[in-house]
Amino acid sequence: MTETLWGVIIGGAVGVVGGMIGTIVQHHYAGKRWKKKAALDRLLRERDSMEKKFSHAVKQVRLMEAGLAPAATDFGELSASMMLHFPKIMPELGPQLTHAIATHSTDPKMFYVLWDKFEGEMRKYLAELDAKIDALLS
């Protein structure tokens, strides 16, 4: 009788420990999947948002180049908007852009040179986001 009792006790203990280990492992991997999905969703939202803002900025600059922009839109307004909406890209271009705003009346071409640099930086930033998204998907 004692051998049977010990068998039941040991079998029950193994079953409980096995169930606990299974639950812990499952919880661990579920947490990893959730973190990966949350990071992917955040990156996709950020990329979508930056792409929309960038497209709007490109449209405004094209209208200003063609002389079709609304009277309220000027280089200073667009530059301030760029510095506000693209803070990760503007640290190195910000001072140059501020200088371009101050000298716009004498040298409007400076803004377009900086705009080309900005476009390059924005495309590079979007490519970095794409690389992070691809890394999470693979």
Q: Decide if 125 contacts 89 (C-beta within 8 A).
A: yes
Q: Which of 22-26, 38-42, 46-50, 111-115 is predicted with the least confidence, judged by mean pLDDT?
A: 111-115
Confidence band of 121 (pLDDT split at 50, 70, 90): confident
Give me the residue spans of the domains in the chain.
Answer: 40-137
- Give CA–CA dist 125/90, Å, rounded: 11
Task: Name the percent of the chain lying above pLDDT 90.
Answer: 10
Q: What mean pLDDT comes out for the span 113-138?
A: 86
CB under 8 Å to 75, separation ≥6 — which residues?
64, 100, 101, 104, 108, 111
Burial 49-65 (b: 16+ CB within 10 A, else e): ebeebbeebeebbeebe
